[in-house]
Structure 1
Amino acid sequence: MNKIEKRLREVLARGEKGLIAYITAGDPDLATTVELAVAMGEAGADVLELGVPFSDPVADGPAIQAASQRALAGGVTVRGIIRAVEQIRRRSDIPLVLMTYYNPVYQYGPGRFAADAARAGANGLIVPDLPPEESGPLLEAAGDNQIDLIPLVTPNTPARRLPVITGRARGFIYCVSVTGVTGERESIMTDLAAMTDGVRSVTPLPVAVGFGISRPAQAAAVARHCDAVVVGSALVNTVAQKAGTPGLIKAVCEQVRELKEALTAREVQGVAAL
């Protein structure tokens, strides 16, 4: 069992649900990203998802698009992000997932990307614009370097596609809670129970749900139907609001603590359905 799956199963064994916390690498700068990552792990995040900025992030909403633009304008590169991962790993054992579009991976070279990311200490990879049928080279490179390639399942994914999408997955399955892009939402209308039950019928891997989850109460409600919850835009917005101030790390970590508290067994039980 790999580091990501092992951590999530340890969390479940404690009667909790996992918190996968996302920030954009290089926003506001890579030095802050390193400090944030370490502090978020100490504050209660179970897995860290680190976004690789890209100029055309088709799956991301306004908050993460803006964060990517700020990071790119600041000169962030894939090599710089990999060095940041290495610095994070020296100080924290939190499982770390890189979320990137395929173009940066292709430009870097799939084999070299997987090898360098693994050497730095990354444990998983999410590539939302790479369909399973075209993932062969990266899947092979990831497997050779003990990197989990984590697939996405959407509300529109046909049941017949689930075995194809999940068949060679490792780490966890990422269920997208809404159609469209990332971003904070007031409510989530997807039938999460049906969606996650369908995924669980074809794979034993932990199931995480993300997109649109921003508040502790939302996280607790979603967690009734999955093993872990992914929160991104809400944290990215706080980074943007507090950038350049001494309170940035404290503010983000307070959010992380509140979200994690909502995912304890006591909080997860008995919450209202979405």
Structure 2
Amino acid sequence: MNRINKLFQDKKSNILSIYYTAGFPGLEDTLKIAEELEQAGADLLEIGFPYSDPVADGPVIQASSKQALENGMSLKTLFKQLKELRSRISIPVLLMGYVNPMLQFGVENFCQACAEVGVDGCIVPDLPMTEYELYYQETFKKYGLCNIFLVTPQTSEERIHKIDALTTGFIYLLSSSATTGKNLEVSQSTEAYFSRIKGMNLKNPLMIGFGIHNKATFDQACAYASGAIIGTAFVKSLNESPSKKSVTAFMEAFRA
């Protein structure tokens, strides 16, 4: 069984997923941070592969991508680093990034490399659902990879059901249609949106992301989903103090 599916089978609530950018703050920090996050209690990791035009990301993650690229990070370098992944990390790991670097690397090569190093799935926000279904779905299946789709407040119920049918891990429920980094504000309309999706009885679990920045917003998200994804807040903390002690302190604030 894919590690992502096993996680959601074994743990039904309060799943904590952390996103960070590969090669940031330093080029060789990728696995060190993964180890520190697992030791501090993360359930799931999303490792971002940087891209020069990260249009869905806010300034904090954009800056981390820029720094990672300047440090020399690339998909080729990332997969070299991840050769040690499964000797050091046991929790599920996703790669997250944009479709252009994946296409340049070659989709088959990308999926094969993911499988060889023990990556469990991918989140590629700008990969069109139709193209995935027509051209890439069988390749992802061949290498045992989950492909995670995103749902926004504007996504139609018809499309959500289609996403649910194509999904093999979880559905990434965006708290808003804004870029990353905007703090979550659970208004009546946001609550109605979360409740509507929760009430659709989808076959896949839900994870809420965008704007989860403290224990209160994590708990709010977990009331409507299996867990939540923290990205900008963690990347920001790495900017301030990229040490094991600071990673542990960051995680303890969400586990209190």
**2:162 is the counterpart of 1:167:** no
Residue matched to 2:21: 24
CA distance in 2, matches of 1:194, 1:57: 26
Residue matched to 1:34: 31
Report the CA distance between 1:221 and its aligned residue. Answer: 1.3
Distance 1:107 1:199, change over 3 A: farther
Give yes or no for contact 1:24–1:53 (8 Å, CA) kept in 2.
yes
Residue matched to 2:138: 140
Return the letter of the residue paired with 1:2. Answer: N
Distance 1:199 1:161, change over 3 A: farther
Return the letter of the residue paired with 1:222. Answer: A
Residues 83-92 or 146-155, more deviating: 83-92
CA distance in 2, matches of 1:199, 1:173: 11
Give yes or no for contact 2:153–2:193 (8 Å, CA) kept in 1.
no
Residues 251-260 or 112-121, more deviating: 251-260
TM-score by length of 2: 0.93
| SS class of match (1:226) | coil
| SS class of match (2:94) | strand
Residues 158-167 or 126-135, more deviating: 158-167
Unaligned segments of structure 2, at least 5 residues: none
Alpha-carbon RMSD across the aligned residues, in angstroms, is 1.7
What percentage of aligned pairs have identical amino acids? 34
Residue matched to 1:266: none
Distance 1:81 1:161, change over 3 A: same
| SS class of match (2:166) | coil
Instruction: Provide runs of 4+ in structure 1 moved above 3 Å.
Output: 192-197
**2:250 is the counterpart of 1:252:** no
Give yes or no for contact 1:166–1:173 (8 Å, CA) kept in 2.
yes
Map residues 150-189 of structure 1 onto 2, 5 A cutoff.
150-185=148-183, 187-189=185-187
Residues 182-191 or 120-129, more deviating: 182-191
Distance 1:200 1:38, change over 3 A: farther
Give yes or no for contact 2:19–2:46 (8 Å, CA) kept in 1.
yes
Give yes or no for contact 1:21–1:232 (8 Å, CA) kept in 2.
yes
The aligned length equals 254
